[in-house]
Chains A and B, each alone.
Chain A
Amino acid sequence: MPVELLLHPVPVHTGSGDQDGQLVLADGRLVAVLVRLDDLSHAGLLGAWFLEAGFGPCAHVVAPIFSDLDMAQNWIRQQFD
């Protein structure tokens, strides 16, 4: 059975202009905190979603950046394969 993802919007204190976040729960357990890159310092990455923190199968040395939330969810699902 594919993992069921639930997104829950949450403000995140990143110490920067990046504040809009999403908690991602997989089958009821927190696996990722995604943050939208809105700080002007990100230039070419503005509006993309950054894996601010990952847990379990989503814990990654290199935090990926996704162009939108669908891409982020696809990646999270793949981590459970």
Chain B
Amino acid sequence: MAARIELLIRKLEQFRRLSFDERQVLENVPIDVQKIDTGRDLRRDGQRSSHCLLLLDGMVCRYRTMQDGRRQIMSFHFPGDILDLSSLLLGRLDHDIEALTPLEVAPIPHATVLGWITHEPGLGRLLWQDTLVDAAVFREWVVNLGQRSAYTRTAHLLCEMAARLQAVGLAPDQTCTLPVTAAELADATSLSIVHINRVLQELRSKGLVEARGRTLVLLDRDGLRHAGGFDPGYLHQRAVPAA
């Protein structure tokens, strides 16, 4: 199961290379893979849990539902992400987490994660860094929703998703396939379905993206970076030398 935990290792190695001992601690974690269907809520607002969920395959969003049924997606998550690390110290979750695709997740007991931090404090710092980057991403989303036009906002979001997938080795090329629908992008960008359709049409007409079924293919990442005014500095990814 070392290959499964490798996703988390790759994610943490965005910050610095892990030591041999740190790597061993993570590689010795028993991984119990659970499969989850699309559309299922993995965690609910207010829920307490004794485990953290490590995402191994698929895509997830955190969201909040308004009283009139509208939904605000607050973040997207990719393999290697721990979806509810906050449950470790904050207890109750303050949002819902939904499977946007079929998923594979591995529940890791809170006691295990706390054990990592106790025995390898360096891992604790890396998880802290991860939560700080999470906060940086939320800050960028505030700027994105509040200050960027519909077109720029959407391009910026697509760039961010691609950059995060690339960091765990899942978007190695200039092209990148995102399993995300127009409705989900609308909920994440606070745009109506009509406006997101128009934006996607404009991005398509410029050869930047292409819709294929339930997925969106990013065809020209440099073009999208330009369209979104995207600077990945806030993701704090270390430049990894090519393998």
Contact = CB atoms under 8 A, between A and B. Distances in A.
Interface of A: 14-16, 18, 37, 39-42, 45, 50, 61-63, 65
Nearest to A43: B197
Given A37-B194, A41-B200, 12 more contacts: A14-B198, A15-B202, A16-B202, A18-B194, A41-B197, A41-B204, A42-B194, A45-B193, A50-B192, A61-B70, A62-B192, A63-B192
B201 A41 contact: yes
Interface string B93-132: 0000000000000000000000000000000000000000
B68 A39 contact: no
Interface string B177-196: 00000000000000011100
Given A15-B202, A16-B201, A39-B201, A62 B194 contact: no
Most A-side CB within 10 Å, residue of B68, B193, B194: B194
21 contacts: A14-B198, A16-B197, A16-B201, A16-B202, A18-B194, A18-B198, A37-B194, A39-B197, A39-B198, A39-B201, A40-B201, A41-B198, A41-B201, A41-B204, A42-B197, A45-B193, A45-B194, A50-B194, A61-B70, A63-B194, A65-B194
Contacts of B204: 41
Contacts of B193: 45, 65
Interface string B186-230: 000000111001101110100000000000000000000000000
A19 to B, nearest CB: 12
A60 B193 CA distance: 15
Contacts of A41: 197-198, 200-201, 204
